[in-house]
């Protein structure tokens, strides 16, 4: 036997066995669902960077996105800061009585909360050329986030009268910063160190990120190093959305409206033949919990209530389902949802009307602001499913 053809030493083999199957569990070899980078930019680009990585929504079951498949939103490419938790510090300062620096251990000494929330990137726009739901909607994901309520930390530092905004900053240059009103910071934000029962993944901001429930993804600062209380809006790298010249577009930024999408049957999938199917999808809203989801199987002429297939948490994905008999003819499937404050998911035509555009505006240009339009899927008579936006 030559050296290279020798079987691996027993130790190496059992080490691998221990790693793959026991020490840290891996999914079945039959499960192959993966994230993919957005198609709009070549990844990796000439600098070796990958931008905005899409979650395979078509393969998910239930309400929680597994951490390994959580979408990745980044303007800085695939470089994930490598932060040793022992060196980690969070500074809270500005218009406060006692500026404080917290270590990770300090943060863990506070009472924790665990809440299920979606995070969705403002770049989540469905385009006619997108083939699958991963491409049309893959920049949203939902996890259980564990950490310290931000109001608790703000109380600890003593926010001064007159402070009206906060600026949150990530560890990579000043670019990871975003600012929002202090009322939101005092409400339901979480300084999170946990994701789905374990430490936050590096791609999601290890060791600590901010979770700003219902707001556009960019405010959920990853690798969080600083929160500053200030008395005015601060223009940061990430705040371009709020100085738009069109006040209607500006009004549709910050908080996500009600949004839903059918994930089965969805673009690129194939129905083997006529018969009974379970239409399945996800609904969520930045305005609170989802109250109702309706499904249309005739291009929006008639609607039927779907069932919620899980608990509808505030600002969280909830799965919906509906029994459906496909007769074999061509049809268009779509869903729309209503949230706890009564907001209804709009159609592409509603959106065009709101912006005084022609009804087919969406075919060439996506809507300004955060896009939550109804997504139609066309089932062809051969069972193939296509984007019908």
Ligand X SMILES: Nc1nc2c(c(=O)[nH]1)N[C@H]1C(S)=C(S)[C@@H](COP(=O)(O)O)O[C@H]1N2
Find tokens 């929006």 and name the residue: 300
| Least distance (Å) between residue 370 CB and ligand X | 11
Residue among 54, 80, 119, 373 that touches ligand X (CB under 6 A): 119
Q: Which is nearer to ligand X, 142 or 389 (CB)?
A: 142
What whole-number distance in Å separates Cα of residue 225 and Cα of residue 204?
14
> Is 125 a residue that touches ligand X (CB under 6 A)?
no
| Least distance (Å) between residue 75 CB and Mo ion | 8
Q: Which is nearer to ligand X, 176 or 213 (CB)?
A: 176
Q: Which does 207 bind (CB under 5 to 8 A by kind): Mo ion, ligand X, none?
A: none
> Is 178 a residue that touches Mo ion (CB under 5 A)?
no
Q: Which of the residues 209 through 248 are near ligand X (CB under 6 A)?
A: 217-218, 220-223
Q: Which does 340 bind (CB under 5 to 8 A by kind): Mo ion, ligand X, none?
A: none
Find tokens 């001064």 and name the residue: 160
> Is 370 a residue that touches Mo ion (CB under 5 A)?
no
Q: Which of the residues 193 through 232 are near Mo ion (CB under 5 A)?
A: 217-218
| Least distance (Å) between residue 76 CB and Mo ion | 12
Residue among 75, 131, 291, 386 that touches ligand X (CB under 6 A): 75
What whole-number distance in Å separates Cα of residue 222 and Cα of residue 145?
13
Q: Which of the residues 45 through 84 are near Mo ion (CB under 5 A)?
A: 73
What are the phi and psi torsion angles at 387 (to 5°)? -65, 125
What whole-number distance in Å separates Cα of residue 119 and Cα of residue 208?
15
Q: Which of the residues 128 through 187 are near ligand X (CB under 6 A)?
A: 141, 170, 172, 176
Give the distance from CA 258 to its chain's centroid.
Answer: 14
Q: Which is nearer to ligand X, 207 or 265 (CB)?
A: 207
Residue among 63, 179, 204, 335 that touches ligand X (CB under 6 A): 204
- Antiparallel, parallel or unpaired: β 165-170 and 140-149: unpaired
Q: How many CB atoms lie within 10 A of CB 85?
A: 13
| Least distance (Å) between residue 218 CB and ligand X | 4
> Is 281 a residue that touches Mo ion (CB under 5 A)?
no
> Is 88 a residue that touches ligand X (CB under 6 A)?
no
Find tokens 């040793």 and name the residue: 84
Total residues in contact with ligand X, by rule CB under 6 A = 21
Total residues in contact with Mo ion, by rule CB under 5 A = 4
Give the distance from CA 12 to its chain's centroid.
Answer: 39
> Is 357 a residue that touches ligand X (CB under 6 A)?
no
- The number of C-alpha atoms within 13 Å of 369 and in the hemisphere containing its C-beta is 20
| Pair of tokens at residue 14 | 């059992």
Q: How many CB atoms lie within 10 A of CB 368?
A: 16
- Got the DSSP string for 20-37? IIIIS----TT-----EE
Instruction: Provide the phi-psi class of 275: left if phi over 0, else alpha when psi is between -120 and 50, else beta.
Output: left
Residues paired with 260 in a beta bridge: 283
Q: Which does 296 bind (CB under 5 to 8 A by kind): ligand X, Mo ion, none?
A: none
Q: Which does 284 bind (CB under 5 to 8 A by kind): Mo ion, ligand X, none?
A: none
Segment lying near ligand X (by CB under 6 A), choices 73-81, 271-279, 287-295, 304-312: 73-81
What are the phi and psi torsion angles at 222 (to 5°)? -90, 160
What are the phi and psi torsion angles at 214 (to 5°)? 85, -15
Q: Which does 119 bind (CB under 5 to 8 A by kind): Mo ion, ligand X, none?
A: ligand X
| Pair of tokens at residue 172 | 């990579």
What are the phi and psi torsion angles at 180 (to 5°)? -150, 165
> Is 189 a residue that touches ligand X (CB under 6 A)?
no
> Is 71 a residue that touches ligand X (CB under 6 A)?
yes
> Is 121 a residue that touches Mo ion (CB under 5 A)?
yes
Q: Which of the residues 309 through 348 are near ligand X (CB under 6 A)?
A: none
Closest CA to 31 of 10, 59, 6: 59
* Sign of the four-CA dihedral 99, 105, 110, 114: positive
Residues near ligand X, by CB under 6 A? 70-76, 119, 121, 141, 170, 172, 176, 203-204, 217-218, 220-223
The contact set with Mo ion (CB under 5 A) reads 73, 121, 217-218
């Amino acid at each position: 036997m030559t050296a290279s053809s020798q079987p691996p030493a027993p130790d190496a083999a059992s080490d691998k066995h221990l790693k793959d199957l026991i020490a840290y569990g891996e999914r079945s070899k039959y499960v192959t669902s993966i994230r993919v980078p957005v198609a709009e930019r070549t990844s990796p680009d000439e600098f070796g960077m990958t931008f905005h990585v899409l979650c395979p929504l078509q393969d998910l079951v239930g309400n929680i996105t597994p951490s390994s498949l959580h979408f990745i939103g980044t303007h800085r490419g695939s470089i994930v800061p490598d932060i040793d938790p022992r060196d980690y510090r969070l500074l809270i300062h500005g218009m406060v009585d006692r500026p404080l620096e917290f270590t990770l251990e300090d943060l863990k000494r506070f009472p924790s909360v665990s809440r299920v929330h979606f995070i969705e990137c403002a770049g989540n726009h469905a385009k006619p050329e997108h083939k699958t739901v991963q491409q049309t909607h893959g920049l949203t994901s939902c996890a259980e986030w564990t950490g310290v309520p931000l109001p608790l930390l703000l109380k600890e530092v003593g926010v001064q009268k007159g402070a009206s905004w906060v600026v949150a900053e990530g560890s990579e240059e000043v670019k990871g910063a975003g600012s929002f009103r202090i009322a939101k910071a005092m409400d339901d934000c979480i300084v999170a160190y946990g994701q789905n029962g374990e430490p936050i993944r590096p791609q999601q901001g290890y060791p600590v990120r901010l979770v700003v429930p219902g707001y556009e993804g960019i405010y959920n600062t990853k690798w969080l190093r600083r929160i500053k209380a200030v008395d005015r809006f601060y223009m940061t790298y990430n705040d371009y959305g709020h100085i738009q010249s069109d006040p209607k577009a500006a009004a549709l930024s910050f908080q996500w409206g009600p949004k839903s999408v059918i994930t089965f049957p969805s673009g690129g999938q194939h129905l083997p033949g006529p018969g009974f199917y379970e239409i399945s999808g996800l609904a969520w809203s930045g305005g609170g919990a989802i109250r109702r989801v309706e499904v249309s199987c005739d291009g929006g002429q008639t609607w039927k209530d779907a069932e919620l297939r899980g608990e509808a948490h505030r600002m969280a994905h909830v799965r919906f389902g509906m029994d459906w008999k496909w007769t074999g003819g061509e049809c268009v499937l779509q869903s729309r949802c209503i949230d706890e404050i009564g907001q209804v998911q709009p159609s592409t035509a509603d959106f065009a009307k709101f912006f005084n555009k022609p009804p087919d505006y969406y075919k060439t240009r996506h809507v300004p602001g955060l896009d939550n339009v109804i997504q139609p899927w066309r089932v062809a008579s051969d069972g193939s499913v296509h984007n019908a936006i």
